Amino acid sequence: MWIRITCLWHLAFPSMWIGVLLVSCLSFIFAEFVAPSVWHRMIATDMSSKYKPFILCGNPRYSVYIAGDLSNTTHNDIEAWLRTKISLSFFLHILKFSNNSYGHAHFNTEEKAGPFYPSMGDRAFQGPNGGVVYFNSSTALGVTTQYRAEPGHIAQQAEPGRAAQHAEVNHAQQAEAGHAVQQVDPTSVRRKKEYLPENRDGCTIFETGDTFTIVVSTPGVTQKDHVEIAVDGNDDNLIISGDVTGIFQNISGTVVMNNMPDKVENHVSLPTRIDSEGSIQTEVANGLTKITVNKIKMRPQKILKQKC
């Protein structure tokens, strides 16, 4: 009797572990490949007929998070805009609903998604509708993806427009030197931006005698003390910037996304030179900033008499 039970146990024990190993493998395959693909297909019902997901779509290691001023834009709009910014042909598509302000750029290999993030992450771009667009690492179940950056990636091909002039960190050199890419905490209330695209829209200039009155759009700027005015060029260009304040006051809850800029900046080209050392009047109201500056006074010419 005991011999029979022992023999049966020895026969069943390897089979049991083989079954456990098989179930574990199938669970891993389902979690890593099948489930993301099924979820990806289910939420893509509003995509065009040209949209073709592949088995790894939805896996965070094969995608990069994109967000910003993207409301009322489609995945086709973002894809067309992105292909004009970088010479990149190996990303598959953009997954985004038109009423959302975020989406994902999907890649067919982890090696192609890896170089993309350190080249584009933590950088602000002027998006398809003129607003701020940025890229971030994908997150799944609270775990932030750590991308592997390979030397010679697409950073040299990236054309960030007006955004990359004041960046202190070159992500291409950082990744090429083998340094870890700095990740951004997605739960952070205020996301640091090294630079923002210049805003050359929303400006009105009035000329009255010896003065110019400039009205620019400065959403989020509530006090004139938060406005900074600089003169550039030949005293005929104004750089008007302001701190965005008071956004999160008296709001409770957990921040799940924050793409609000910390500063706004306007560049205004004036018809003639101004007195850069003269007084400036500033008023802020209703998301607008009014600035009054004096024109430079031209001294009358004096003809010198030559001695005989």
**Distance between CA atoms of 90 and 155, rounded to whole angstroms?**
14
Predicted local confidence at residue 10, as pLDDT: 53
pLDDT tens digits, residue range 257-293?
777 777 888 888 888 888 888 888 999 988 899 999 9
What pairing do the DSSP bridges indicate for beta strands 143-144 and 139-140?
Answer: antiparallel
Predicted local confidence at residue 12, as pLDDT: 52
For residue 256, which amino acid is it?
Answer: V
Cα dist. 250→24, 85, 194, 246, 253 in Å?
A: 48, 38, 27, 9, 10
Predicted local confidence at residue 145, as pLDDT: 57
Look at 7-21, 61-75, 108-122, 206-220 and tell me which has the smallest mean pLDDT.
7-21
For residue 38, which amino acid is it?
Answer: V
- SS3 percent helix, strand, coil of the chain, rounded to 5, is 25, 25, 50
